[in-house]
Chains A and B, each alone.
Chain A
Amino acid sequence: MHPAPSVIIFTTLSGLGFGLLFFLGLGFPAVSGWIAFVFFAIAYGMAVGGLMASTFHLGHPERALKAFTQWKTSWLSREGWCAVLALIVMGLYAIGAVFLGQVWSLLGWIGALFSLATVFTTSMIYTQLKTIPRWNMNLTPVMFLSFSLAGGALLAGQTSAALPLLLIAALVQMLYWRKGDQALASSGTDLGTATGLGARGTVRAFEPPHTGTNYLLREFVHVVGRKHAEKLRVISFVLAFVLPVLLLVLPFNHFFALLAVASHLAGVATSRWLFFAQAEHVVGLYYGKR
């Protein structure tokens, strides 16, 4: 898949933003006044910024509101609803915390739930796609959620929660990569089933339909060199998990904490780049590509 910056920014930032909102909704940290304002500002900045970024790739962003209509079947529509509900509920909760010094816990819990639900629905947009075996795995929502929670805990300064959550996310990440690398091969879909000609012999794509490129190739076929990908995985893993964990186990220091957050953010962004760039859409088979 084409690793479009808009979707990478979207999933990275909104994942972290809603992760932070989750913890804020549960009252971790229990903040109020200006401190609460800063936390909520960061969370909203990330969540809303991510959502805004996601509209950049739309052909008609001005029609985006129509996307709320199809919640019965569409994960994208559901995501929109969850995000809006999470932001509204958490907004009310934030007003209480920042301006009124009130902690409306029930609202916070509901908001936290919607925040997590948003991340889950986002992940389901990808998970539901049978056409992309690497995404069409149970591990995909687990990965999105574990990343969101770990990042949220980190941003919320919940070191004791962040450490195990980071370790869990790291484990999920490794499993995801391992399983993902075999996903296409074990999906049972190949050029033989794509063309129905597999029983006749070895099928090889000959001339493409057009000598030039097209939307499908631009959107779905992105080849990352294996060595390049392995390097990026190491970088991503170190930045997202290894470095933050190391920084967290060191004696607390605001600079280290900031560094841990920045490192995690960069690592998750790299992981998301790989998430898209390495995802093989079965359409590529028709073009003899993956």
Chain B
Amino acid sequence: MTQLPNSTDRKMGLVIDLDTCVGCHACVISCKGWNTENYGAPLSDQDAYGGNPSGTFLNRVHSYEVQPADGHAQLIHFPKSCLHCEDAPCVTVCPTGASYKRVEDGIVLVNESDCIGCGLCAWSCPYGARELDVTEGVMKKCTLCVDRIYNENLPEVDRIPSCVRTCPAGARHFGDLGDPDSDVSKLVAERGGMDLMPEMGTKPVNKYLPPRPKDTIEEQIDILAPLLAPVAEEPKGFLGWLDKTLEKL
């Protein structure tokens, strides 16, 4: 309920690879489709075919340009959904207990039948992870597909969030970040996974893998240059080289 559990058995969450996300929005729409049909109220859309369409989405892909001191600007696609924080302020501010963090896996959920739609949880979330559904008047958020990941009606391989299952580039990983030996934890350790707004003290479970260094090829020219030593300066010399080399084949 509104109080956070002292600890959770597992810390299920997502690891999002900013080095690989191509910004295709597949996760956004897969999430919309699954969560419209499943957990709680459908994610509604207002003015769906009109001048100002606006719907509820639990996952959105931003994009940012980063201009390094030297070199080309970079474009980084940035998917964002609930980070299922360990110290989730959205849970403690909730006056009704509708928002809660599950003991068994740390998933932050909204019990829609208890939600009065006051919006305070969304106010308390630094990440914009919660959206009040206009039609239903309740707060919607990423459920980490709690109705998939344990679902015995799904084959085991499909018991992952729909955004992870659909991601064509494999930029989204799902697992227990509380277990240092899990694949996701190892990935975070290897690639320097980071928190968003660590200064907020929310201790997000979801981690982001930073983009690898970019545009380094020219810096390697000194190492690479010998590879390009000409076999001959003139075409004639080249044909001589050709003959010699063919002889060796």
- Residues of A participating in the B interface, judged by any CB pair closer than 8 Å: 1, 57-61, 63-64, 66-70, 72-77, 80, 125, 128-132, 187-189, 191, 193-197, 200-210, 212-216, 218-220, 281-283, 286-287
- A75-B93, A131-B200 in contact; A215/B137 too (CB < 8 A)? no
Contact (Cβ within 8 A) A73 B128: no
Which chain B residues lie closer than 8 Å to A131 at the CB level? 89, 123-126, 200
Which chain A residues lie closer than 8 Å to B57 at the CB level? 209-210, 214
Closest CB of chain B to A221's CB: distance in Å? 10
Contact (Cβ within 8 A) B198 A193: yes
Which chain B residues lie closer than 8 Å to A200 at the CB level? 66, 68, 74, 210-211
Which chain A residues lie closer than 8 Å to B126 at the CB level? 130-131, 189, 194, 282-283
Among B3, B55, B64, B128, max chain A CB count under 10 A is at B128
Q: State how many residues of chain B have any CB contact under 8 Å with chain A.
A: 67
Contact (Cβ within 8 A) A205 B128: no
Binds A, one of B111-119, B143-151, B225-233: B111-119
Contact (Cβ within 8 A) A58 B118: yes
Contact (Cβ within 8 A) B115 A59: yes
CA gap between A241 and B66 in the complex, in Å? 47
Known interface pairs A63-B96, A201-B68, A216-B128; 9 further A-B residue pairs with C-beta atoms within 8 A, sorted by A's residue number: A59-B137, A66-B98, A67-B95, A70-B96, A74-B94, A193-B196, A194-B197, A212-B54, A218-B54
Among B57, B120, B138, B197, max chain A CB count under 10 A is at B197
Contact (Cβ within 8 A) B114 A66: yes
Which chain B residues lie closer than 8 Å to A189 at the CB level? 126, 197, 199-200
Closest CB of chain A to B1's CB: distance in Å? 7
Nearest chain-B residue to A192 (Cβ)?
A: B66
Contact (Cβ within 8 A) A59 B117: yes
User: Is B223 among interface residues, defined by CB-CB distance under 8 A?
Assistant: no
Q: Can you give 9 A-B contacts (C-beta < 8 A)?
A: A59-B119, A59-B137, A69-B97, A132-B123, A193-B199, A197-B76, A206-B64, A214-B54, A214-B131
CA gap between A197 and B212 in the complex, in Å? 11
Nearest chain-B residue to A193 (Cβ)?
A: B197
Closest CB of chain A to B13's CB: distance in Å? 16
Contact (Cβ within 8 A) A203 B64: yes
Which chain B residues lie closer than 8 Å to A188 at the CB level? 199
Which B43-90 residues sit within 8 Å CB-CB of chain A? 52-57, 60-69, 74-76, 78, 80, 89
Closest CB of chain B to A198's CB: distance in Å? 9
Per-residue contact bits, chain B 170-210, to A (CB 8 Å; 1 contact, 0 not): 00000000000000000000000011111111000000101
Contact (Cβ within 8 A) B114 A219: no
User: Is B241 among interface residues, defined by CB-CB distance under 8 A?
Assistant: no
Contact (Cβ within 8 A) A70 B94: yes
User: Is B164 among interface residues, defined by CB-CB distance under 8 A?
Assistant: no
Which chain B residues lie closer than 8 Å to A196 at the CB level? 194-196, 208, 210
Contact (Cβ within 8 A) A66 B96: yes
- A75-B93, A205-B64 in contact; A60/B137 too (CB < 8 A)? yes
| The 5 nearest A-B residue pairs measured at CB | A59-B117, A59-B137, A209-B60, A70-B2, A201-B68
Contact (Cβ within 8 A) A195 B68: no
- A58-B118, A59-B116 in contact; A286/B95 too (CB < 8 A)? no
